[in-house]
Homo-oligomer: A and B are copies of this chain.
Amino acid sequence: MEDFLEIAGKKIGNRLFIGTGKFSSYAIMKRALEVAKAEVATVALRRVDASLKAENIMDYIPQECKVMINTSGARDADEAVRIARLAKAGQAGNWIKIEVIRDNKYLLPDNIETLKAVEVLAKEGFVVFPYMSPDLSIARRMADAGASAIMPLGSPIGSNRGIKTREFIEIMVNEINLPIIVDAGLGKPSEACECMEIGCAAVLVNTAIAVSEDPVKMAKAFSQAVYAGRLAYLSGIPTAGKFASASSPLTGFLREDKPQGDGLASDSQSHKKS
């Protein structure tokens, strides 16, 4: 099946984007990206710390995997712009997840500063992915300002609470003519699957994979679940009903006919409220 998400000319087959934070080692992270066949991975930028491991994370990102730099650490639009420019100078390409956070407890994004950063960076030619609190009105402005996709959060970063914003993400999927990529809070493959079933273009998962007991296996699980959800979306999901509907035929039962007034119908009738 030909089913690609196309962003800025890149055709993306695997709709599970993976964040590279919190893995116990870059080697395990690499293995997770490989096993999940990830095509997009996020990376952060920080001041060098001479005391830390000398490994270069870029050596552990598979060739075929597109890097998207996040602006984590930015508290306003200016800081986000500064990080984006540094990332580009560092040969990390021009895909930027704009993340502007002023709230230390719930790590909820600042939609207004994020919008400002989108305006600046889109004009400079960056491919921008704003991470935001779900808000249709501001998402429309993000689109007008040149965002390439919208990344609403499912629940607070790293909380593993799932898609607590479902109603509003569905509205965004229906109303915004850009890929909607759920980012943050997804804790289980079933939740990622659900995002895809309602029509999201992709999901970004980090914590739930990186801190599981077996991150490589969990990366594969998320990857399969995202694919399953996408397939289901494309297959046409039947709606839920109030009542039951037999899956086996309702005729040809092997049973003796019982005299009227003695069978099931009248029985259950007698318990129904008048």
Nearest-neighbour CB distance to chain B for A149, whole angstroms, equals 13
Decide: A104 and B268 in contact? CB cutoff 8 A.
yes
Given A102-B264, A212-B235, A243-B105, A21 and B249 contact (CB-CB distance below 8 Å): yes
CB-contact partner of A236 in B212, B225, B248, B254, under 8 A? B212
Binding site for B on A (CB under 8 A): 1, 19, 21-22, 44-49, 70, 72-73, 75, 79, 82-83, 86, 102-112, 133-138, 140-141, 143, 155-162, 164-168, 171, 174-178, 184, 187-191, 193-194, 197, 206-208, 210-215, 217-218, 220-225, 227-229, 231-232, 234-249, 251-255, 264-265, 267-268, 270-274
Decide: B228 and A45 in contact? CB cutoff 8 A.
no
CB-contact partner of A247 in B19, B83, B213, B221, under 8 A? B19
Decide: B189 and A255 in contact? CB cutoff 8 A.
no
Which 8 interchain pairs have the tightest Cβ spacing?
A213-B236, A158-B245, A46-B252, A156-B244, A221-B231, A225-B228, A72-B248, A224-B228
Which residues on the B side are within 8 Å of A265 (C-beta)?
A: 104
Identify the interface centre among A1, A48, A70, A252: most chain B CB within 10 Å of its CB.
A252
A255 to B71, CA, bound (A): 12
Which residues on the B side are within 8 Å of A86 (C-beta)?
A: 254
CB-contact partner of A157 in B175, B187, B213, B245, under 8 A? B245
Which residues on the B side are within 8 Å of A251 (C-beta)?
A: 46, 49
CB-contact partner of A138 in B79, B112, B211, B240, under 8 A? B112
CB-contact partner of A239 in B138, B160, B220, B228, under 8 A? B160
Nearest-neighbour CB distance to chain B for A189, whole angstroms, equals 4
CB-contact partner of A187 in B238, B254, B274, under 8 A? B238
Given A188-B194, A271-B176, A264 and B229 contact (CB-CB distance below 8 Å): no
CB-contact partner of A222 in B105, B220, B228, B255, under 8 A? B228
A108 to B171, CA, bound (A): 10
Decide: A190 and B190 in contact? CB cutoff 8 A.
yes
Nearest-neighbour CB distance to chain B for A110, whole angstroms, equals 4
A243 to B168, CA, bound (A): 11
Given A73-B254, A271-B143, A249 and B44 contact (CB-CB distance below 8 Å): yes
Which residues on the B side are within 8 Å of A227 (C-beta)?
A: 224
Decide: B237 and A187 in contact? CB cutoff 8 A.
yes
**In the complex, what residue of chain B is closest to A207 when comparing beta carbons?**
B247
CB-contact partner of A214 in B137, B159, B235, under 8 A? B235
Given A221-B228, A232-B188, A46 and B268 contact (CB-CB distance below 8 Å): no
